[in-house]
Amino acid sequence: QQLREKIASQKTHMANLPTLQSIVDETGFTSPGTKARAQLIKELSDNEEQLELLLECKRVAAVVRLQDELHPPQNSEDCRLSNT
């Protein structure tokens, strides 16, 4: 939930800033404004990717759990090789 709120906040903040193209047009590619905007874009992208991975991990865990519930292991005995 915190990550979602952070992403929403970053998107709102970025929406209120000038576009990257307008910054580049006004100050050039190597200006501090361009670098700052690019860093914000990277941070947002990284956070969105992290959220996607977290959601995917939860989804996979739920699928595995359901699979185990619907199709429990046939043999629940301990492995004899691991006891030696």
- How do residues 20-73 score in pLDDT, each as one tens digit? 788 888 888 788 888 888 899 999 999 999 999 999 999 999 999 999 889 887
What's the pLDDT at 76?
60
Contact between 43 and 3 under an 8 Å Cβ cutoff? The reply is no
Question: Residue 28: which region, alpha, beta or left (left: phi > 0; alpha: psi -120 to 50)?
Answer: left
Whole-model pTM: value is 0.68
What's the pLDDT at 18?
84
What's the pLDDT at 45?
94
Average pLDDT over residues 5-27: 87
Tell me whether residue 28 is exposed, middle or buried, using C-beta atoms within 10 angstroms of its C-beta: 0 to 12, 13 to 18, 19 or more. Answer: exposed
